[in-house]
Structure 1
């Protein structure tokens, strides 16, 4: 099995219009509900369908597909009574059975699931609720305290006691102020555990995921029921997800990857969902990998670097992964080697975005060569180009904007933002705003966001080429811009002029002479989005 042979075969299937997965009934263009494909068809199975590791308790919760389906059916019956088809239903909950019940229960009822991270504060939460026009919200008693009950569309809030991860009730209807009705989750538990999935069209949206908002207010991106089916090539050749895999995704369905690949595609492939609850802890995480005997995992780069920095001794753990996916940012060679030596597999970096899916990846082929720091090659079935400002493809080795070719019937949109939709989704290419270069072997290498590029003395410098912390461009009288680094210190190190010079000289020795930071500032913490991405726009300001 080689990359070229797979790419050509999948491209042929796209061109012939063939369906992807024999388990998914994509031939009937009139009806497709992805929740039925991911959970409904497993509803009578006593096989494990969901595993959750509680880091604080050190315990594992397991639920069968049948138990998960029954919980989802109760949610569906509740929503059919209190909401309308197509309504947006949010969930801001820890990783627990009820969260997954809301995901599947919302989708199979013909409603649209709105992922909301438990770490959201009032601004982030209420912005998404208002922008989406959400009609209902499932959250904890603590979450009730930050919800604006006067949101025009919000009619009902369902509260679960956050003191009991397994689900509970609240006293007195919660602390929410405003016109929205607050129900205890017992109102959901009282519903029938049988439900007939609502028929939906393949092009109907099943989720509304908001972008991270690194360059402006977050924008909602609807995903259609047919969307996960288009991830067949990624699931088959990158993740290599199998029904008997013990699968662990270090991201809950509050995030795009955790929802699509960690939850929906797990069910489509017949694989048990695996996740954890609580703040990420390297020792607890690696203990889980060993205790579960995980063979297929997705671990973000930040978690891998954090674990390595924490001094995790991989030789002390009995872990042997067949597949290790890592996405979101590039990994250094030391971390890649550390994983391959101690976990059994190198991290397969992958590049994707909410608007366009996973489009450039490394693969789970035995003979695949992982180049540390590289995004890999184009996903079979996708067409990706690097374009200049005029829309022309750049030469090999030159920096260009990553652009994804879109078919007429596969173009997306932003929720309630027609102008932004026309700007991003109109035309032959979806232009991502990310810059990359392609080497002589066809591997892509991420450079930066287009608006993060630093132009110094005529050189185009991507922050990722320089930073171990975070760098931005600062105006300079003669050079146009210089590289300015923002650094956080660990241990008992203290900011000083001497340390600034030392760091600058170190970077100068490792990087090209035009790339090293000429100014350094020390911060207690770098500004980040809720999903952990560095907000360079805040640093630039």
Structure 2
């Protein structure tokens, strides 16, 4: 896309040219100079412990892991879970899977046992590579996942207990220089899980073309400036925008990535990381950017090489852009938009056109968009609210299917090939898109999409809860906060204690970011004629206060 002189020219002339033969392990790793630095691993935030891994080292380690996994019985087409934070073993495992023809299932270490159980069982994963921090959760659910034959835990034989196999042991059994599985852009590559709005999370099946689509998008929202770039994101590498839109997008373009596993987001530490590694491009959700605002004069306090910040996950607000102009005057802040199913297809890019504060941007080259009436599916007039629909010029860069859900797969797409987003937007006369709201019940909080159904299920596990409805409510820092309206089984003796017990239950079984920030008790919840909780009524009730 660097050959195009203007956004309009790129929109008219760009075509997806996917190769007949394609394996991301070759594209993201083996095609590059083996002595070039691929990953700067910074385990505890100091130069003394940083480890620079070259593309050649990543290639050899993933070779050894691939042949080691094959020796354990992992075959082409098998699903392999990856529950590893920003450590080298994360991308090494994905590359190893693709080298032997297996399918990756990216999962976050933030998940608790219930969330892990559902996804590993639903995907029928035969093996999972895990961080030691989730060992107890995996042991607790092992019997509930009948297909899960192998658990490979990071560490050596001295540090790994139980019947898990040490990651280093699997590497030692493997060989370098293996032949990469003969794949195409249509070969199954990964299963990523949605947040789930009206039911359990759905497994989104992607082919290898996904990674090419994400790399093209990143080139645009990073202002076409990825030559000799160094990229970093604080987001977990299990998420699509971090894994595909940052880590693997960088490697497609031959760039260096900083890996920094952390348990919390401390703004001064983040700025120190950006300085220490001369980071030029970063992906940060709006919540993270709001937290960075607590640091006074970052441009004066830190010797930053930062050029572009890309942001997504929740709508960008004017305060972030105003802060950026004042605190980081030489840094572009570009919002972009995508979905687990539909790739990253709308963005602001200062190199293409003048970004407009708080807008989503414009459709990227390779995608067409429409704004449709949610009822009639007919296009609405400019300036009117409707549902965003997207059509890729090449179908393969979007998802293949929802795992085991053919009816939901069909419902995601119109008869004439437009993919529906459930996001309500406006389009202005200059072609900019403006986010209005979600059409479904998904909550956008802290940069994550949280489905209320899974949270409600976790809250209902408390014996003192009769019924619950979970909704998102406005929050200045996180965009939305999670609120649970609980109908207790009886009058609680200690309401505050019950609130904390409910929060702890959700934290332990789902993910730390999914616990309800606010818990309200009610004698009765609004329901439909079929007995379902009316979340819309709960949101309206909250707005009236």
Shift of 1:407: 5.9
> Is contact 1:33-1:199 (8 Å) kept?
yes
| Unpaired runs of at least 5, structure 1 | 20-25, 161-166, 176-180, 454-461, 465-482, 491-522
> Is contact 1:212-1:531 (8 Å) kept?
no
> Is contact 1:157-1:182 (8 Å) kept?
yes
The structure showing larger relative contact order (alpha-carbon pairs under 8 Å, at least 6 residues apart) is 2
> Alignment partner for residue 230 of structure 1, among 213, 221, 226?
213
TM-score by length of 2: 0.76
SS in 2 for 1:390: coil
> Alignment partner for residue 420 of structure 1, among 385, 404, 408?
408
SS in 2 for 1:146: helix
Shift of 1:246: 1.6
Q: How does 1:497-536 map to 2 (within 5 A)?
A: 530=511
Shift of 1:325: 0.6
Q: Does 1:182 find its partner at 2:164?
A: yes
Does the C-alpha gap of structure 1 residues 133 and 387 become closer, same or farther in structure 2, counting only changes over 3 Å?
A: same
The one-character-per-residue Cα deviations of 1:384-431 (angstroms, maximum 9, x if unpaired) are 111002111111111100111256843631111111111113522111
The one-character-per-residue Cα deviations of 1:105-161 (angstroms, maximum 9, x if unpaired) are 11221111110101110011111000100010011334231122221111100112x
User: Which residue is 2:39 aligned to?
Assistant: 50
User: Which residue is 1:259 aligned to?
Assistant: 243
Q: How does 1:134-533 map to 2 (within 5 A)?
A: 134-147=125-138, 148-150=141-143, 151-160=145-154, 167-170=155-158, 174-175=161-162, 182-190=164-172, 191-231=174-214, 233-239=216-222, 240-278=224-262, 279-309=264-294, 313-343=298-328, 344-365=330-351, 368-388=353-373, 389-406=375-392, 409-410=395-396, 412-427=400-415, 428-451=417-440, 530=511
User: Which residue is 2:467 aligned to?
Assistant: none
User: Which residue is 2:496 aligned to?
Assistant: none
User: Which residue is 1:13 aligned to?
Assistant: 14
User: Which residue is 1:497 aligned to?
Assistant: none
TM-score by length of 1: 0.77
Q: Distance in 2 between matches of 1:441 and 1:533?
A: 38
Shift of 1:214: 4.0
Shift of 1:254: 1.3
Q: Distance in 2 between matches of 1:2 and 1:201?
A: 26
Q: Distance in 2 between matches of 1:431 and 1:534?
A: 29
Does the C-alpha gap of structure 1 residues 348 and 408 become closer, same or farther in structure 2, counting only changes over 3 Å?
A: closer
> Alignment partner for residue 79 of structure 1, among 69, 78, 92?
69
| Unpaired runs of at least 5, structure 2 | 446-470, 479-498, 519-534, 540-545
The one-character-per-residue Cα deviations of 1:416-469 (angstroms, maximum 9, x if unpaired) are 11111111135221111011111232211111111359xxxxxxxx999xxxxx
Shift of 1:382: 0.5
The one-character-per-residue Cα deviations of 1:135-188 (angstroms, maximum 9, x if unpaired) are 10011334231122221111100112xxxxxx44455x634xxxxx52122321
Q: Distance in 2 between matches of 1:384 and 1:534?
A: 35
Computed over aligned residues only, the root mean square deviation of the Cα atoms, in angstroms, reads 3.3
Q: Distance in 1 between matches of 2:46 and 2:10?
A: 47
> Is contact 2:321-2:333 (8 Å) kept?
yes
> Is contact 2:37-2:55 (8 Å) kept?
yes
